[in-house]
Amino acid sequence: MAAGGLTAPNSIKHADFVGEIRNHVSTFLLSKTITTTIMTPENQNADHLFGGLNVKYELDVPLAPFTWYGLGGPAKVMVHPSNKSDLSAVIKRCWQDQWPVYVLGSGANLLVADSGVDGVVIQLDDPEFKQVEFNPSHMTAGAGVDLPQLVLQTARAGLEGIECLSGIPATVGGAVRMNAGGVFGDIGKSIHQVQVMDDRGMVSWRHHDNLKFNYRKTNISELFILAAQFTLTPQDPQSVKARIKEIFQFKKKSQPLAANSCGCAFKNPLKVPADVPKSAGMLIDRAGLKGHQIGGAKVSDQHANFVIANDGASTSDVLALLEHIGEVVYKQFGIRLEREIVVWP
Ligand SMILES: Cc1cc2nc3c(=O)[nH]c(=O)nc-3n(C[C@H](O)[C@H](O)[C@H](O)COP(=O)(O)OP(=O)(O)OC[C@H]3O[C@@H](n4cnc5c(N)ncnc54)[C@H](O)[C@@H]3O)c2cc1C
């Protein structure tokens, strides 16, 4: 990676508002289950898959603790590669043996089926994928870098351009994949180039000239985002921090950030008749669905586009509620809502 050997500072003093987001992350990371490998015919399958490779993997790993929803079943195989060449070797094997591969960021936009995923889940959480490098007008960050921390680090470095991402839980890889953002802008607008790896393990850089960032999507078709380089502008750190805080406060006032959710469940429709609300949240609200509940899944009372999971909720509850919302909104307004949440498998 062009980010060279620099690692992100490890003693980052969080501002309160980022601390709130991180507390949520720590809670689910602390509850991570450590699994042991028991030999069964299926395990031997995975042994065959990775035979001869120096790769650590775990079997039947519960995915719920890796997601902000805290829901869903296990991954058949989970791998945390130590570097790009390990990742490349794993990907080649998966491709040869036709194992489905799922890329996990911080799980802030993921809903995992109750039955889990029958494939290989790969998370780029090794320090190798968390490197950050600053220069006067650019910043390069690995896919595994925590976005809220990066937003603050960038302010401290006296650079502006990604304050609009304040309060969005994500890794850099997940944020680029989703073109994360909101009313203040999205990540795509400051991306200079993105390093990717395809499903055969080949690494390349994609320059912004051949990148497209649209509303919550990009034209990046490669399996992995490995790193992103941002174009930023020098600015007084205090004014960047003030802007970050302002945007976070705006978000906090309107969204139930502490609840188990994936943020907005649906994308805003791109074309709507003049007399129909333009945002998915407004459509759901006008359809009278605020507070509507199926099992442990509930439409937030604070923001109608947040479907939250209360104690005892299952992924099936959330999916049933999403479907119900879609039907009611369509019946009432003739608008088909598109899901923003990524559902595995
Ligand atoms: C409280 C809350 C508030 C939110 N607010 C916002 C908001 O304001 N704006 C917004 O846009 N989103 C918001 N979200 C949704 C979420 O934060 C974003 O979609 C974010 O980009 C997800 O990043 P992640 O790393 O958690 O990705 P994941 O949820 O882990 O994955 C999301 C998708 O990205 C893919 N992916 C992840 N990492 C990589 C990689 N390295 N390479 C290739 N593909 C990868 C996954 O396979 C999956 O398809 C919110 C979520 C929550 C829980």
Question: Do 295 and 307 fall within a single domain?
Answer: yes
18 occurs within a structural domain = no
Q: Which pair of tokens denotes residue 21?
A: 């987001």
Provide the sign of the torsion angle of the four alpha carbons 88, 94, 96, 98, taken in this order: negative
Pocket of ligand 1, candidates 63, 88, 109: which has the most ligand atoms within 8 Å of its Cβ, to mutate? 109
Confidence bin at 37 (pLDDT 50/70/90): very low
> Is 90 exceeded by the pLDDT of residue 18?
no
Confidence bin at 20 (pLDDT 50/70/90): low
Cβ pair 325, 291 in contact under 8 A: no
Q: Is residue 327 among the annotated active site residues?
A: no
Give per-residue pLDDT as tens, 201-214.
999 999 999 999 99
Confidence bin at 137 (pLDDT 50/70/90): confident
**Positions of E strands within the chain:** 57-62, 74-79, 101-104, 110-112, 117-123, 132-134, 138-142, 159-160, 181-182, 185-186, 191-197, 203-207, 213-214, 217-218, 224-231, 233-234, 293-294, 297-299, 307-309, 342-344
183 occurs within a structural domain = yes
Question: Do 171 and 151 fall within a single domain?
Answer: yes
294 occurs within a structural domain = yes
DSSP SS3 for 61: strand
DSSP SS3 for 193: strand
| Residue 217 CA to ligand 1 centre (angstroms) | 11
Provide the sign of the torsion angle of the four alpha carbons 16, 17, 18, 24, taken in this order: positive
Confidence bin at 39 (pLDDT 50/70/90): very low
* Selection from 183, 83, 184 nearest residue 143 by Cα: 83
Q: Which pair of tokens denotes residue 276?
A: 């129909």
Of 197, 226, 253, which residue constitutes the final position of a domain? 253
> Is 50 exceeded by the pLDDT of residue 29?
no
What percentage of residues in the chain have a pLDDT greater than 70?
87
Cα–Cα dist 105/137, whole Å: 26
Domain that holds residue 332: 257-344
Which residue is closest in CA terms to ligand 1's atom 50? 263
- Maximum average pLDDT range among 29-33, 48-52, 282-286: 282-286
4 occurs within a structural domain = no
Confidence bin at 2 (pLDDT 50/70/90): very low
pLDDT value at residue 343 = 98
> Is 60 exceeded by the pLDDT of residue 22?
no
Q: Which residue has the tokens 């990676």?
A: 1
Question: Do 136 and 63 fall within a single domain?
Answer: no
* Selection from 98, 83, 90, 78 nearest residue 53 by Cα: 90
Q: Quick one: average pLDDT of 26-41?
A: 39
pLDDT value at residue 44 = 58
The CATH number covering residue 295 comes to 3.90.78.10
More confident residue, 4 or 69: 69
Helix pair 84-97, 41-50: axis angle to 10 deg? 120
Q: Which is the catalytic residue, given 94, 164, 262, 264? A: 264
Asked whether 196 lines ligand 1 (CB < 6 A), one says no
* Selection from 230, 234, 233 nearest residue 188 by Cα: 230
Question: Do 325 and 280 fall within a single domain?
Answer: yes
Q: Is residue 160 among the annotated active site residues?
A: no
Of 78, 103, 123, which residue constitutes the final position of a domain? 123
15 occurs within a structural domain = no
Strands lying side by side in the sheet with 307-309? 293-294, 297-299, 307-309
Asked whether 225 lines ligand 1 (CB < 6 A), one says yes
Which residue is closest in CA terms to ligand 1's atom 12? 180
The CATH number covering residue 106 comes to 3.30.43.10
* Selection from 152, 194, 198 nearest residue 173 by Cα: 194
Question: Do 138 and 249 fall within a single domain?
Answer: yes
> Is 80 exceeded by the pLDDT of residue 186?
yes
DSSP SS3 for 246: helix
5 occurs within a structural domain = no
Asked whether 281 lines ligand 1 (CB < 6 A), one says no
17 occurs within a structural domain = no
Question: Do 148 and 221 fall within a single domain?
Answer: yes
Q: Is residue 94 among the annotated active site residues?
A: no
Question: Do 340 and 279 fall within a single domain?
Answer: yes
Question: Do 97 and 164 fall within a single domain?
Answer: no
Question: Do 139 and 239 fall within a single domain?
Answer: yes
> Is 50 exceeded by the pLDDT of residue 335?
yes
Cα–Cα dist 298/312, whole Å: 12
> Given the CA of residue 187, which atom of ligand 1 is nearest to it?
11
Mean pLDDT of the chain: 89
Give per-residue pLDDT as tens, 219-270.
999 999 999 999 999 999 999 999 999 999 999 999 999 999 999 999 999 9
| Residue 33 CA to ligand 1 centre (angstroms) | 22
pLDDT value at residue 45 = 78
Provide the sign of the torsion angle of the four alpha carbons 140, 188, 154, 143, taken in this order: negative
> Is 60 exceeded by the pLDDT of residue 38?
no
Question: Do 135 and 201 fall within a single domain?
Answer: yes
What percentage of residues in the chain have a pLDDT greater than 90?
81
Most distant pair of Cα atoms in the chain: their distance: 63
pLDDT value at residue 47 = 79
How many domains does the chain fold into? 3
How many CB atoms sit inside 10 A of residue 68's CB? 21
> Given the CA of residue 103, which atom of ligand 1 is nearest to it?
47
Of 85, 101, 123, which residue constitutes the final position of a domain? 123
The CATH number covering residue 225 comes to 3.30.465.10
Question: Do 149 and 235 fall within a single domain?
Answer: yes
pLDDT value at residue 48 = 82
Question: Do 113 and 159 fall within a single domain?
Answer: no
312 occurs within a structural domain = yes
> Is 70 exceeded by the pLDDT of residue 31?
no
How many CB atoms sit inside 10 A of residue 47's CB? 13
Strands 233-234 and 159-160: antiparallel
Q: Which is the catalytic residue, given 216, 243, 286, 338? A: 216
> Given the CA of residue 175, which atom of ligand 1 is nearest to it?
21
